Amino acid sequence: MLLGAAALLALCPVPALAQSVSVVMPASGPAADAWTALEAGRLREAEQIFARALAAGPDDTAVLLGSAVVARRLGQGTNARQWLIRALQIDPSLSAASMLLAALSREAGDLETALRVYEAALVRAPDHRELKAGAEACRTELARLTRWPGDLGGETRLFFEGPVDEATARLALESAARARDRIGAALGVTLADRVTVVLVTSPSSPAPVAAVPAWSTSQFDGRVRMQVRPPVKDRAEFERMLTHEYAHAVLRTVAPGGVPTWLNEGFATWLEPGGLTRAGRDLRAAGVLLPWPRLQESFASLPPEAVTAAYAQSALGVAVMITRAGIPAVLAMMRDLAAGETLDGALRSRIGLSVEEFQREFLASLRVP
């Protein structure tokens, strides 16, 4: 289950970031035009203007910061980090750059790096309220976690929230490695970042956000977070759930926001081992279709009896698009949505269907023997 954008944006509060940005935002010129386009949600336009401004003034901190903000919104985390680090090399007191750099680390599940960024920034701005709050949030979360030492140097950071179990740790690392290979091969996408997995073994551990429904035993909030009671009895189900949440980690690098829930959850379900077969079986068993507009937003508010049908319908909808246009087209569509394109516009340009035509094709796919 992918937690909502609001939960992830809480890692770098927009008002606090905007207030810090206003200190370096130019009043006029190309960079000002780019910031105006960014605030209006015209990300592609802002990206192009910032690129020209960066070529003309590679050491302009306002341009570096703006370029990083756009890159973050478009899923270009590596570029965003590079520009923020450069901005801080030029002006180490630039709190907005520190906040965004820490937020990128938190969004990637790397609380340890985020804390180091906050602490370095607080040396120069010891009374900065948002920096202090971010650092304290990281310390509080890390205090609840135990790092599994066997993950060092690997592609997965593994933590336990509760009692540590060696067999479960090894199962998680093996399952994560298979998920990375499976998803990377299917999408042609290589993760630049390590993925953080938190195994919640304590029955008293709080949910990551209040909106997590009781039926959800795994979530992705920048980290793969799974509730588990060792020893794991159903290893296949464990791997299926981990693969689903791992898929969210990969898809977030494609499109951090702007994507309807059914597309995110459907793609993650499609990427599970046996995901499409399971989706077909589950939808037939449910015997009901949900209105597509109802699947735009988080599934957290759905009644429990509708959840299985929601995931199944979403996966089969994604399968329709993949069959028609291919995986690269669906990924391109997600990038368009992250950049501010409408769902109908992205569907038309990448899949060759309007929203209404997609819904009709989905219904027709269910009638195929």
Taken in order of first residue, the domains within the chain and their CATH numbers are: 5-143 (1.25.40.10), 146-250 (1.10.390.10), 261-366 (no CATH)
d(CA 193, CA 249): 10
Helix (H) / strand (E) containing 207: none
- Quote the pLDDT of residue 14: 39
User: How far is Cα 255 from Cα 335, in angstroms, rounded to an integer?
Assistant: 5
Name residue 199's beta-bridge partners: 160, 226
Residue 5 Cα distances to 122, 246, 297, 329, 338, angstroms: 27, 17, 10, 23, 12
State residue 185's pLDDT score: 95
Q: Residues with Cβ < 8 Å from 128, sequence gap 6 or more?
A: 95, 121, 122
Q: What is the pLDDT of residue 263?
A: 98
The pLDDT value recorded for residue 221 is 87
How far is the C-alpha of 368 from the C-alpha of 213, rounded, in Å? Answer: 34
In sequence order, the β-bridge partners of residue 195 are: 156
Phi first, then psi: give them for residue 256, nearest 5 degrees: -70, -20
Q: For 141-179, write each residue's pLDDT tens digit.
A: 999 999 999 876 688 999 999 999 999 999 999 999 999
The ranges of the chain with pLDDT < 50 are 4-20, 22-23, 209-215
Position 215 scores a pLDDT of 41
CA dist 150 → 95, 183, 192, 194 (Å): 35, 23, 20, 14
Cα–Cα distance, 68 to 176 (Å, whole number):
29
Quote the pTM value: 0.86
Whether 297 contacts 3, CB under 8 Å: no
pLDDT at 107: 87
Residue partners of 227: CB distance under 8 A and separation at least 6: 200, 205, 217, 218
- As a dihedral over the C-alpha atoms of residue 312, residue 362, residue 255, residue 114, rounded to 10 degrees, the angle is -10
Separation in Å, CA 225 to CA 10, 146, 206: 18, 14, 12
Q: Return d(Cα 74, Cα 200) in angstroms, integer.
A: 31
Residue 307 in tokens: 């959840």
Closest by alpha carbon to 254, among 169, 163, 336? 336
